[in-house]
Chains A and B, each alone.
Chain A
Amino acid sequence: MNINTTKIISLLFFIFSAFYLYLAYQIQVFTFDEKAPFNAKTFPIYLGYAGLFFSGLKLILPDPNTIKVEHKNLEYKKTGILILIAIIYGATILKVGYFLTTSLFLFASYYFLGERRWILMFLLSFPFVAAFMYLLHGILDIYLRDPFLQSIGVMG
Chain B
Amino acid sequence: MIEGILIGLTTALTLQNILMVMVGCFFGTIIGMLPGLGPMTAIALMIPITYGFEPATGLILMAGVYYGAVFGGSTSSILLNAPGVPGTVATSFDGYPMAQQGKAGKALAIAAWSSFAGGTLSAIYLLFMAPSLSKVSLSFRSPDYFALMILGLTAIAAFSSKGQFLKAMMMVVLGLMLASVGQDSLSDITRYTFNNMNLTDGISFVLVVMATFAMSEALTIILKRNDPTIAAKQVSLTELGSIKINKEERTKMYKTIPRSSVIGFLIGVLPGAGATIASFLAYGMERNVVSDEEKEKFGKGSVNGLSAPETANNAACSGSFVPMLTLGIPGSGTTAVMLGALLGFGVQPGPRLYMTNPEIFWSIIMSMYIGMVILLILNLPLIPYIARILAIPKNYLIPLILFFSVTGIYVMSFNNFDIYLMIGIAVVATFLRLYDFPMPPLILAFVLGGLMEENLRRSLLLSNGSWEFLWDRTLTACILATTILIVIWHIYKTFTKKN
Residues of chain A whose beta carbon lies under 8 Å from any beta carbon of chain B: 5-6, 9-10, 13, 17, 20, 23-24, 27-30, 33, 36-44, 47, 50-51, 54-55, 57-58, 61, 64-65, 67, 69-70, 73-76, 78-79, 82-83, 86-87, 89-91, 93-94, 98, 102, 105-106, 109-110, 113-115, 120, 124, 132, 136, 140-142, 144-145
Considering only CB atoms and an 8 Å cut-off, how many residues of chain B contact the other chain?
64
Residue of B nearest to A14 (CB): B170
Task: Please give the distance in Å from A59's CB to the nearest CB on chain B.
Answer: 10
Q: What are 12 pairs between A and B in contact, CB < 8 Å?
A: A29-B189, A37-B463, A54-B169, A55-B170, A67-B435, A69-B435, A73-B224, A79-B219, A79-B222, A86-B406, A87-B423, A93-B419
Per DSSP, chain B at the interface is: helix
Known A28-B189, A142-B411: A105·B399 in contact at CB below 8 Å: yes
Cross-chain contact B163 with A65 (CB below 8 angstroms): yes
**B180's closest neighbor in chain A, by CB?**
A44
The answer to whether the Cβ of B166 comes within 8 Å of any Cβ in the partner chain is yes
User: In the assembled complex, which residues on chain A have CB atoms less than 8 Å from the CB atom of B407?
Assistant: 102, 132, 136
Query: Is the C-beta of B416 less than 8 angstroms from some C-beta in chain A?
Result: yes
CB contacts (< 8 Å) of A102 on chain B: these are: 403, 406-407
Whole-angstrom CA separation of A141 from B163 in the bound complex: 48
Q: Using Cβ atoms and an 8 Å threshold, which residues of chain A touch B464? A: 37
Stretch at the interface among B302-310, B313-321, B453-461: B453-461
Count A-B pairs with CB separation below 8 Å.
170
Given A114-B395, A136-B411, are A82 and B170 neighbors across the interface (CB < 8 Å)? no
With a cutoff of 8 Å between Cβ atoms, the chain B residues found around residue A58 in the complex are 166-167, 170
The verdict on B14 contacting chain A, using a C-beta distance below 8 Å, is no
In the bound complex, CA of A115 to CA of B398 (Å): 12
Determine if B187 is an interface residue (Cβ-Cβ < 8 Å). yes
How far does the alpha carbon of A38 sit from the alpha carbon of B146 in the complex, in Å?
A: 15
A114 CB to nearest chain B CB (Å): 6
A75 to B218, CA, bound (A): 13
CB-CB contacts below 8 Å: B174-213 with A: 174, 176-177, 180, 184, 186-187, 189, 191-192
- Are A20's CB and B189's CB within 8 A? no
Q: Give the interface segment out of B73-81, B87-95, B225-233.
A: B225-233
The yes or no answer to B380 lying at the interface (CB within 8 A) is no
Within the assembled complex, what's the spacing in Å between the Cα atoms of A106 and B72? 24
- Which residues does chain A contribute within 8 Å of B37, judged by CB atoms? 140
Q: Assess whether B399 is in contact with A61, with CB atoms less than 8 Å apart.
A: no
Chain B residues in 8 Å Cβ range of A10: 170
Closest residue of chain A to B219 (Cβ to Cβ) is A79
Q: How far is the CA of A51 from the CA of B174 in the complex (A)?
A: 8
* Distance to closest chain A CB from B360 (angstroms): 27
Cα separation A54 to B174 with both chains bound (whole Å): 11
> Does the CB pair A91–B416 fall under 8 Å?
yes
Closest to A114 in B: B395
Contact indicator B402/A70 (Cβ below 8 Å): no
Is the pair A115, B396 in contact by a Cβ cutoff of 8 Å?
yes
Query: For A141, what are the chain B residues with a Cβ–Cβ distance below 8 Å?
Result: 45
Q: Which residues of B lie under 8 Å from residue A136 when comparing CB positions?
A: 407, 411
Q: B162 on the interface (CB 8 Å rule)?
A: yes
Q: Which residue of B lies closest to A63 (CB)?
A: B163
A54 and B166: CB pair below 8 A?
Answer: yes
Known A40-B191, A87-B423, A142-B411; contact A73-B228, beta-carbon cutoff 8 A: yes
- The 7 A-B residue pairs with the shortest CB-CB distance in the complex, in nearest-first order: A37-B465, A90-B419, A109-B399, A40-B184, A40-B189, A65-B163, A113-B395
